[in-house]
Amino acid sequence: MKRRHLSCITFAALLTGCGYPGEPLPPALNRPVRVPDLAVVQRGSSLYVQFTVPEQTTEGMRLRSAPDIELRYGVMPADGFSKWETTAQRVPPAAIQTQEIKPPTPDVDPASKKKPEKKKKRSAPTSPAELHASAQIDVSKFYGKPMVVGVRIHGAHGQDVGWSRLETLDLVPALPVPAGLAPSDVPDAVRLDWHAAAPSYRIFRKATDDPAFRQIGTSDRPFYVDSTIEYGKTYDYLVQSVEKSGERYAESEPSPSVTFKPVDKFPPAVPVGLTVVPGSRTIELVWERNPERDFASYQVYRDGKKIAEGLNAPAYSDRDVKPGVRYRYQVSAMDTAGNVSELCSAAETAIP
């Protein structure tokens, strides 16, 4: 009997040492988080929609299956959002394009490869790839109306946490695509001309070593002067019509791009302000400095003959002169491409 009693005590102690398991946890809801970055723009007769598809639940768990994307668009009824939710058209899932975007690989310092490592270091955790979604919606039947777009993500059993931020756009008739884009050389710049009737335009450029087009300016008229060029480089240009609609801008499709390599065929400005001052044995010449960015040098002429070239400063001292002889001076400028200006107005003097 005593031995049986000790066994019971030992069994009870073992139970106590194992710990109490606690209440059972409720099942995971598996609701995808809300879309955080819905972006919508009208381009031509279409809406272009982009967003990131969540891949986690509200509990921080990874979704078990591919999420169901519900993307809807429609005119906001007078009855409000609840009516929109039942009348808005759904974009077919097959019409929504998805693409997995992997984060860039961290750069490795080449010097670190040369140093022997005593022990292997743990690699830093990499960010998971993101699933980006996009869709194009024809809205040509809705011009002049406010269009509302929203998206929500459903889990495996239809669970969701609601709509993304709703995007509202005042639709305008499709803007004309700029046509006949033509670049041409102008002094220290490229002039772009095109044909279109739109309130304003965006101008984009891509140099040979640029990864993509970037906007370089806007214009309210169908031309633009790009004064940020570099001679010797080749550029691609395109233009897009835009119109402000509410707090947003509607866009046209971009024009076909054109390739152009600017050529410097324009001489620099003619030097101005030439003044000649006679001395006891020399005649001193000074004039105003050329401010052009491609300026290279000056040349000095006496009585129609070149007596100096390659001058960087706007001054020259003529020591090859004789008393009592009257001399006539002129100056020209040269740019880095070898273009030479006309001679400036002549200035005369003589040593007494």
DSSP 28-42: P--PBPPP---EEEE
Question: Dihedrals φ, ψ of 6, to 5°?
Answer: -65, -35
Structure tokens at 202: 């965006």
User: Which CATH entry fits the domain spanning 275-350: 2.30.110.10, 3.40.1360.10, 2.40.110.20, 2.60.40.10?
Assistant: 2.60.40.10
Q: If we measure between CA atoms, which residue out of 155, 164, 189 comes closest to residue 264?
A: 189
Alpha-carbon gap, residue 167 to 43, rounded angstroms: 15
State which amino acid sits at residue 315: A
CA-based angle 320:326:329, to the nearest 5? 70
Alpha-carbon gap, residue 130 to 51, rounded angstroms: 10
Q: If we measure between CA atoms, which residue out of 145, 148, 147, 149 comes closest to residue 135?
A: 149
Alpha-carbon gap, residue 116 to 264, rounded angstroms: 54
Listed by start position, the domains of the chain span 39-103+128-170, 179-260, 275-350
Q: If we measure between CA atoms, which residue out of 194, 213, 177, 198 comes closest to residue 245?
A: 198
275-350: same fold as 39-103+128-170? Answer: yes
Domain over 179-260 is classified CATH 3.40.50.620: no
Q: If we measure between CA atoms, which residue out of 33, 70, 27 comes closest to residue 55?
A: 33
Residuewise pLDDT in 10s, the chain (352 residues): 544 444 444 434 434 444 445 555 455 567 899 999 999 999 999 999 999 999 888 887 887 778 899 999 999 888 777 788 889 999 999 999 999 877 665 555 555 555 555 555 555 445 566 889 999 999 999 999 999 999 999 987 888 899 999 999 999 999 999 999 999 999 889 999 999 999 999 999 999 999 999 999 999 999 999 999 999 899 999 999 999 988 899 999 999 999 999 999 999 999 999 999 999 899 999 999 999 988 999 999 999 999 999 999 999 999 999 999 999 999 999 999 999 999 999 999 999 8
Query: CA–CA distance from 239 to each of 6, 104, 315 (Å)?
Result: 92, 31, 46
Is pTM beyond 0.85? Reply is no
Alpha-carbon gap, residue 267 to 73, rounded angstroms: 58
Buried b (16+ CB within 10 A) or exposed e, 261-271: ebebebbbbeb
Q: If we measure between CA atoms, which residue out of 229, 208, 234 comes closest to residue 217?
A: 229
Domain over 39-103+128-170 is classified CATH 2.60.40.10: yes
Q: What is the pLDDT of residue 20?
A: 46
Alpha-carbon gap, residue 217 to 239, rounded angstroms: 10
